[in-house]
């Protein structure tokens, strides 16, 4: 039987080889002169959204503060591993790691992770992440404005001056706040169409959160068959695991999504309180840096009780 340490070492060696191969391919594919579309509109949007976030108490960061025009774009490849037959419901995921590439994700595509004995594996690539090296690329500029605004706010919320928490708790807090602040942005802009779209995205996130919590209560052997009964989550699962093998990705993907949507519906409920979104963000910033899932759960319950208490 392979030990956990042995498996981790073998996995790291494999990823190191993958890193070398993909970086070499990216360098070989890089043209002498790369032509990029005009990114000035997106650069202006980023500056405006960051300034808006500050009005809600979100300190801007250097993430996405530059564009790939005239400069190289860097990307990230994340892996999440979860022991087969288990879900990270009340504990952190088993293994989480990231690989950086000196190229945009479009230049280093991953075909598929085929097998890691004893583990379920989910991976995701992106050019946008919470780091000063993250640049706005043509693919980001091509996304809808609601998506771009949400991502800009999401990555700023990850700044240590805003939230400096264990990864699984921080993502659970930042993900709903990003969607909520995007709604507030379009409300302030009096942009009715994109307000409607951002509200639809927020509602979808809340539905995914509710469905995901219900789904993980079911037995694992029934989950794949049960997925179509949860249409919002099923749609996201299929879209984000396209090209990946469902039985291989199942536990890792579900555990990954539990992190991002653990508190989505609960925080969205709190945002409906008359105190307003800025006050909620300030309250959530009081989460201790050494929080555990259990203590974060208790913090959210206490905050919910505080917000629901009758006022004189």
Torsion sign over Cα 43, 48, 54, 58: negative
Checking if the pLDDT of 290 tops 50, the result is: yes
Closest CA to 156 of 59, 76, 77, 69: 59
The pLDDT confidence band at residue 128, using thresholds 50, 70 and 90, is very high
Q: Using a pLDDT cut of 90, give the percent of the chain over it.
A: 67
Round to whole Å and give the CA distance between 256 and 206: 16
**pLDDT attached to residue 169:** 96
Checking if the pLDDT of 38 tops 50, the result is: yes
User: Residue 105's CB: how many other CB atoms inside 10 A?
Assistant: 21
**pLDDT attached to residue 5:** 39
pTM over 0.85: no
The token pair at 201 is 């995205």
Torsion sign over Cα 270, 275, 276, 278: negative
User: Residue 205's CB: how many other CB atoms inside 10 A?
Assistant: 23
Q: Mean pLDDT check: name the lowest of 176-180, 244-248, 252-256.
A: 244-248
Q: Mean pLDDT check: name the lowest of 42-46, 49-53, 207-211, 216-220.
A: 216-220
Task: Return the higher-pLDDT residue of 24 and 225.
Answer: 225
Checking if the pLDDT of 3 tops 50, the result is: no
Q: Mean pLDDT check: name the lowest of 89-93, 202-206, 218-222.
A: 218-222
**CA distances (Å), origin 18, targets 9, 46, 77, 228, 241:** 14, 33, 11, 34, 20
Checking if the pLDDT of 96 tops 50, the result is: yes
Residue 124 neighbours by CB under 8 Å, 6+ apart: 77, 78, 240
Task: Return the higher-pLDDT residue of 158 and 90.
Answer: 158
């Amino acid at each position: 039987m392979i030990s956990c340490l042995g498996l981790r070492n073998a996995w790291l060696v494999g990823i190191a080889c993958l890193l070398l191969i993909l970086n070499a391919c990216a360098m070989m594919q890089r043209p002498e002169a790369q032509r990029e579309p005009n990114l000035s509109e997106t650069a202006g949007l980023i500056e405006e959204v960051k300034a808006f976030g500050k009005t809600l108490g979100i300190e801007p960061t250097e993430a996405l503060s530059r564009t790939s025009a005239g400069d190289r774009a860097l990307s990230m490849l994340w892996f999440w591993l979860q022991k087969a037959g288990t879900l990270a419901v009340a504990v952190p995921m088993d293994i989480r790691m990231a690989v950086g590439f000196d190229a945009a994700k479009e230049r280093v595509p991953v075909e598929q992770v085929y097998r890691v004995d004893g583990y379920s594996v989910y991976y995701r690539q992106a050019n946008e992440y919470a780091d000063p090296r993250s640049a706005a690329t043509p693919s980001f500029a091509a996304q809808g404005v609601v998506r771009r605004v949400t991502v800009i706010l999401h990555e700023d919320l990850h700044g240590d001056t805003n939230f400096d928490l264990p990864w699984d708790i921080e993502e659970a807090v930042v993900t709903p706040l990003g969607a909520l602040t995007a709604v507030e942005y379009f409300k302030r802009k009096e942009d009715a169409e994109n307000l409607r779209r951002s509200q639809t995205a927020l509602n979808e996130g809340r539905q995914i959160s509710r469905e995901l919590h219900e789904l993980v209560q079911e037995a694992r052997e029934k989950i794949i068959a049960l997925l179509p009964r949860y249409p919002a989550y099923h749609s996201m699962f299929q879209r984000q695991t396209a090209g990946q093998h469902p039985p291989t990705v199942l536990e890792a993907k579900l555990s990954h999504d539990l992190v991002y949507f653990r508190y989505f519906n609960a925080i969205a409920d709190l945002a409906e309180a008359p105190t307003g979104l800025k006050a909620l963000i300030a309250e959530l910033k009081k989460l201790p840096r050494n929080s555990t899932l259990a203590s974060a759960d208790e913090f959210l319950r206490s905050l919910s009780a505080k917000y629901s208490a009758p006022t004189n």
